[in-house]
Amino acid sequence: MLRRDGGTLGRRGWQERAPMVEPVRRAVLVGTSDGIGLAFTGRLLADGWQVAGLSRRGVEPPGPAYRHHVVDVTAPDYPQVLGRAIDDLGGVDLCVYFAGVGDPLDLDDLAAEHRTFEVNLTGAVRTVEVVAPLMVAAGAGHLVGLSSLADRLVSADAPGYAASKAGLSSYLLGMAAALRPRGVHVTTVRFGFVDTKMAKGPVRPLMLPVDRAVEILMDCVRTRPVVVSRPRRLAVVTSALSTLARLRLLVGR
């Protein structure tokens, strides 16, 4: 029998037990200066996490449990900065990769497509390269990557964005299978539209408020699923549209 204060009833009556101390949970969040990453940072801090945040812009620290590191995920020294952020934190239990860019295709600036891959995909791969060995050594940890429902799309408007997210989803799913036997969970989050500056197009069906996106992420932290696609209805529609677009391309219409 367990008493409210943690004491137990044994043969010799109530035995006192030291009060349970919650371990400090440590999160490294990449892309915290804006949007979903910024809102999620506030939520983790309110729940008592220690957080290290990284992005190109500085941020006003939202509390003493937050430390910010200014870095570009495409910079040569990004792995070193990330490693130092984790050392500072004393380890990492959760890592969420929010960093992403999504500009429409400009045929006069195809280098922008290349930059999209570097941030959305290569930056995430470089993050895993630093974080996964630490989690494997600890035999525990949770990696989360923000992909998109666009990962299935044939997109003439933003081919680099869709393809970089397709690569990210595929990579994270593979890593989920590779790391699960080592005690490390990997979650791919596929949102449709979330109300941030990134969702700037004129058509944004079933757009999620940022708070709702944060709640979905908090559920992921609790349950550590392999993949989450929201809103579900948009996921079904996107999948059907993608099949249709592939067929039309194949038959040349």
Ligand X SMILES: NC(=O)c1ccc[n+]([C@@H]2O[C@H](COP(=O)([O-])OP(=O)(O)OC[C@H]3O[C@@H](n4cnc5c(N)ncnc54)[C@H](OP(=O)(O)O)[C@@H]3O)[C@@H](O)[C@H]2O)c1
Positions touching ligand X (CB under 6 A) are: 31-37, 55-57, 72-74, 98-102, 119, 146, 148, 191, 193-194, 196-199
Nearer CB in complex with ligand X: 72/215:
72
Q: Which residues pair with 96 in a beta bridge?
A: 29, 144
What is the residue-wise DSSP string for 37-105?
HHHHHHHHHHTT-EEEEEESS----SSTTEEEEE--TTSTTHHHHHHHHHHHHTS-SEEEE-----PPP
Q: Which residues lie below 8 Å from residue 174, measured CB to CB, with a gap of 6+? A: none
Nearer CB in complex with ligand X: 44/146:
146
Nearer CB in complex with ligand X: 76/139:
76
Minimum distance of ligand X from residue 51's CB (angstroms): 14
Minimum distance of ligand X from residue 64's CB (angstroms): 21
Nearer CB in complex with ligand X: 33/50:
33
Nearer CB in complex with ligand X: 115/224:
115
Minimum distance of ligand X from residue 120's CB (angstroms): 6
Minimum distance of ligand X from residue 82's CB (angstroms): 11
> With contact defined as beta carbons under 8 Å apart, do 202 and 158 qualify?
no
Minimum distance of ligand X from residue 179's CB (angstroms): 21
CA angle 178, 126, 82 (to 5 degrees): 115
Nearer CB in complex with ligand X: 81/138:
81
Minimum distance of ligand X from residue 61's CB (angstroms): 15
With b for 16 or more beta-carbon neighbours within 10 A and e for fewer, the 159-196 pattern comes to: ebbbbbbbbbbebbbebbeebeeeebbbbbbbbbbbbb
